Structure 1
Amino acid sequence: MSYLDWIVLSGTMIFIVVYGVWQTRGSKNISDYLLGNKQTPWFTIALSIMATQASAITFLSAPGQAYTDGMRFVQFYFGLPLAMVLLSITVVPIYHKMNIYTAYEYLESRFDVRARTLAAILFLSQRGLAAGFTIFAPSLILSSLLNWDIYITNLIIGSMVVIYTVSGGTAAVSQTQKFQMGVIVIGMFIAGVMVVNMLPKEVSFGNALEVAGKMGRLNVVDFEFDLSSRYNIWTGVIGGFFLALSYFGTDQSQVQRYLTGKSVTQSRMGLLFNGMAKIPMQFLILFIGVMVYVFYFFFQPPVFFNKVLLEDAKQKGQNANITQLEDDYSIAFFERKQKALDLVKELNKEEGNITQAEESLKVADKELSNIRETAIEAIKTADPNADTNDTNYIFLNFVIDHLPAGIIGLLIAVILSASMSSTSSELNALATTSLIDIYKRHFNKDASDRHYLKASRWITVFWGIYAIIFTMFANRLGTLIEAVNMLGSLVYGTILGIFLVAFYFKKIGGLAIFLAAIVAEVIVMYCFLFTDIPYLWFNVIGCLPVIGFGFIFQTFLENQKTT
């Protein structure tokens, strides 16, 4: 990167951290620290909700996901708007009326301490790991840019977030997320405009769309009901609805965002705005990935996007082999480029031979892909343990290799800002749940407000260290955006089932729901370990048995009492 890029990047990051610390300095009590004294307006709530969900994984991995698999991932969010409406009507008033710090406090008032503690532990178990993912994503960037060991970059990113999260708590998170979302929106808009403007003059925006469509990258909606398919309209609407209902209704990292609202109306407006904005935002991010895919039809991509791993393989005995493959790749690329230009010419004719040009392009694309696969095999030969999924590096390579000075720094700041905003929310929620639902409830019930404030800061530091340690293993888990959602799906269904019973099935008691939740989680883990069921369905599979077994166990317990 140029000096200008470093100035833009470092200036943006330093401003966000300093602003978060300064704006929220001097939290006097636990209510200020954990809930921002419930003075947050709806617009800040909305931005905070979006920033919490839109981590660096979204902006680093989603364009790569679209590059390799097309637009169909957007269906993942189709159930979200309906979930936002249902939560606004039912859940938000309950949480505000009870004046709680965490969602899990409600479960004790409805069931007992067992249900509360189980739900809190399930949340902590997955969210602590998810925080590691959101730190790892930008660490990939810094390690590539600076050629530093990734453990060092993990420590840098994690420490920056911990500083202002520990200093100002929830208020610091919300205040900094306003600016982080501003940087994110501006940066991604510029990236989208630039990738289209950088296409060859003879390739119009319409031509780019047609090429993407011909190559199967505009597969936005799939109506086929296929249980083996991860992304279609059914997994999106049904599985996505259950996932969104659990994430926004029971995950403390999101619940804590709208618990800070001035009123029920302010919290509702924040949720509903997110429901309206999320699908268009995700569509545009994926669409940028599709445009990058088309861009690389006319400008040569690397044979493998993780250049560090590629160079490492060269130094481990594969130099001559990979160098020859890179030469072959260049020849095959120019052949594909010519076929792509031929297709564009046929598309612009009134009666062009589009079918033949399309088939020729697909043959050339297949040849290029075969060379790339051979290069990946060479990397595996050099290092059998190498992670050869380079999806997370695609958009990063485009930014660094093709965008002008200043813009590179801005877009790197976008990804780092997204990471910091999401991670800070997660650490804040982990600390709140650990303090309120575990420490205060089970170990120290009657300490002073000052003691709890100090404890919450130390707990935040603990979870920051925990997340940083987990990043050591994150690079073994494939595409980050899929991995983080898969991790959540392992527990979200079970947690959602507990809350749905609490809200709507008043006859089921604490012991019955505790046992039902354990059985449901065992079922989910079995499906994850021993079946090929797409992970979005885990949210349904986890939720429904909690309700069903809850009724069964409650009936059995009542019969035991009467005999």
Structure 2
Amino acid sequence: MSTLDWLIVALYALVMIGIGYAASRKQANTDEYFRGARQIPWWAIGISIMATSFSAASLLGGPAQGYDKGFLWLQMQIGDLVGYTLVILLFLPLFVKLNITTAYEYLEKRFDAKNRSLASFCFLLFILARLGGLLYGAALVVSIVTNLPLNVAIVIVGIASIAYTVAGGIAAVVWTDVLQFALIFVGLGAGVWAASSGVEGGFGELWSTAAAAGKLQVINLSWEPTNLVSLPTAVIPYGILAFAVAGTNQQSVQRYVSCADVQSGRKAALLGWFTGLIGVAITLLLGILMYSFYTIKAGSLPADITGDKILPHFITTQVPPGAAGLLVAAVFAAAMSSIDSGLHALATCMTVDFYERFFKPNRSDRHYLKVAQLLIVIWGLFSVAAAFYVASAEINLLPYLIKYVAFFLGPVLGLFLMGILFPRINANGAFFGTLAAGVILGINYSAGGYNFGIWQTAIAAPLAVIIGYGISLLGKTPSPASLRGLTLIHGQTEDDSPRE
């Protein structure tokens, strides 16, 4: 890292802090802190949706996937499109029209408080598991390019992320995401330029080398149920997993409900998918070009440089001054855009779904703001501890994050589907069906049973629905009044009454 590189990274950090400070001066109530008073432009929210999911794991793991498998990982964007389309059709209109703050408030309106708490608790477990991996990804790059110990880098990145998230609320998160989005693409462009200018023949030579090695294939039509780069797997199980993430994850839902209306929410969701498609394509392209670069220059990478270490190695050994600073800042941006969103969503759920709902109702907005900010600090420090665990276990980031998404959000997707699509399912059926599905999969996992892998969400969601429906048949039918405006398929008339 040259002086120029450090100046670029320092400038990025100062701008992030400045945005947090500017946004903090406008925080007068919880609606502004949690939803930006529903005045944030839809296009900024759309970019923020992409930036939230485009983490350091994406920026490190994407080039690694491109290096190993070429463009095949791009098929998963079809699954993402399936997921976002289902959210737009089924979930988003209800969330926006109900004027809720967290996704899980819907579940109390449709069922009861215990269902809301169960779903919110599952989200909290998911985000805590995810934050450790995200923070580790950024710290890994910082450690490699600065020669700082990894533990020190984890602390530095963690504190920086906590600071501006506490200050500015969702407005700061969204607007820093927009800036980080731009920086990510500038950094990736710098990486592509560095690889292309490093060989005789430039980009054309790198492209030809990649083509000869079969790295440019985009679609794999073979039926390989456990292979993420098989098109059927990318569309079916990964599409359902993307549906769970985009539809039940508070990080995404918080952005939909921050939109002014349903139409704005839909446009934001589609823009989020499209910008994600472009981002993934460029990270894979960078990995492919790095493969060609090292094939031409040295035959291959050193044996100990694999997976998430490929891009940091390229930055430290091949990227010229200026471009290196842009790439490092891009990794920071990718990490912080996910960390700040995770911390803010976590604090929102704990404040709204637990603290305000059960412990301290009817307090002032200022009181709840202080509680949310304190929770961001507490759980930010916890995520630092989780990053230490991920570092000690030497986990590959993308598979790690996908596993925890499926484990926690699969049953919750089933719970939301029960509420929106099945009027006959009652509160007890929904609760115990969701719980049973999670317990069954957990027992199978802990006992070393069959590994469902990427199919876990596709199995957990319908399993929860089936069990929940069966239990509900033994109890009361929800009254028509309790369903009005909360389901898409009522299946009852106004004259129906609850029955055993």
Q: Is TM more than 0.5 here?
A: yes
Distance 1:234 1:134 in 2: 28
- Larger deviation, residues 174-183 vs 275-284: 275-284
Matches within 5 A, 1:44-443: 44-201=44-201, 205=204, 208-300=206-298, 302-305=301-304, 390-443=306-359
Q: Any gaps of 5 or more consecutive residues in structure 2?
A: 478-497
SS in 1 for 2:313: helix
Distance 1:163 1:278 in 2: 26
* Identity, % of aligned positions: 29
Residue 474 of structure 2: aligned partner: 556
Report the TM-score, using the length of structure 1 for normalisation. Answer: 0.81
Residue 466 of structure 1: aligned partner: 382
| Contact 1:239–1:536 (8 Å) recurs in 2 | yes
Residue 440 of structure 2: aligned partner: 523
| Contact 1:524–1:541 (8 Å) recurs in 2 | no
Give, in angstroms, the shift of residue 210 of structure 1. 4.5
Deviations 1:153-184, CA, capped at 9 Å, x for gaps:
11111111111111111111011111111111
Distance 2:330 2:227 in 1: 32
Report the TM-score, using the length of structure 2 for normalisation. Answer: 0.91
Distance 1:48 1:204 in 2: 31
| Contact 1:212–1:294 (8 Å) recurs in 2 | yes
| Contact 1:41–1:261 (8 Å) recurs in 2 | yes
Deviations 1:510-543, CA, capped at 9 Å, x for gaps:
1111111112112333454425645321110111
Give, in angstroms, the shift of residue 209 of structure 1. 3.6
Deviations 1:307-352, CA, capped at 9 Å, x for gaps:
xxxxxxxxxxxxxxxxxxxxxxxxxxxxxxxxxxxxxxxxxxxxxx
Distance 1:499 1:123 in 2: 13
Give, in angstroms, the shift of residue 465 of structure 1. 0.8
Structure 2 vs 1, CA of residues 63 and 270 (structure 1 numbering), >3 Å: closer, same or farther?
same
- Larger deviation, residues 521-530 vs 397-406: 521-530
Deviations 1:454-494, CA, capped at 9 Å, x for gaps:
11110111110111110111132532122112211112211
Q: Which AA in structure 2 matches 1:556?
A: L
| Contact 1:208–1:294 (8 Å) recurs in 2 | yes
Residue 491 in structure 1 maps to residue 489 in structure 2:
no
SS in 1 for 2:423: coil
Structure 2 vs 1, CA of residues 511 and 14 (structure 1 numbering), >3 Å: closer, same or farther?
same
Q: 1:480 aligns with which of 397, 400, 404?
A: 397
| Contact 2:426–2:476 (8 Å) recurs in 1 | no
Distance 2:203 2:340 in 1: 41
Give, in angstroms, the shift of residue 48 of structure 1. 0.7
Residue 543 in structure 1 maps to residue 470 in structure 2:
no
Q: Which AA in structure 1 matches 2:435?
A: I
Q: Which AA in structure 1 matches 2:358?
A: H
SS in 2 for 1:70: helix
Q: Which AA in structure 1 matches 2:293?
A: F
Distance 1:562 1:450 in 2: 45
Give, in angstroms, the shift of residue 199 of structure 1. 2.6
Runs of 4+ in 1 over 6 A off after TM superposition: none
Q: Which AA in structure 2 matches 1:29?
A: N
Residue 17 of structure 2: aligned partner: 17
Distance 2:454 2:308 in 1: 21
Give, in angstroms, the shift of residue 23 of structure 1. 3.5
- Number of residue pairs aligned between Structure 1 and Structure 2: 477
Give, in angstroms, the shift of residue 558 of structure 1. 5.2
Q: Any gaps of 5 or more consecutive residues in structure 1?
A: 307-389
SS in 1 for 2:259: coil
Residue 444 in structure 1 maps to residue 360 in structure 2:
yes
Residue 486 of structure 2: aligned partner: none
Structure 2 vs 1, CA of residues 12 and 558 (structure 1 numbering), >3 Å: closer, same or farther?
closer
Residue 372 of structure 1: aligned partner: none
SS in 1 for 2:474: helix
Residue 5 of structure 2: aligned partner: 5
Distance 1:181 1:82 in 2: 23
Distance 1:416 1:557 in 2: 52
Q: Which AA in structure 1 matches 2:108?
A: E
- Larger deviation, residues 76-85 vs 106-115: 76-85
Structure 2 vs 1, CA of residues 223 and 528 (structure 1 numbering), >3 Å: closer, same or farther?
farther
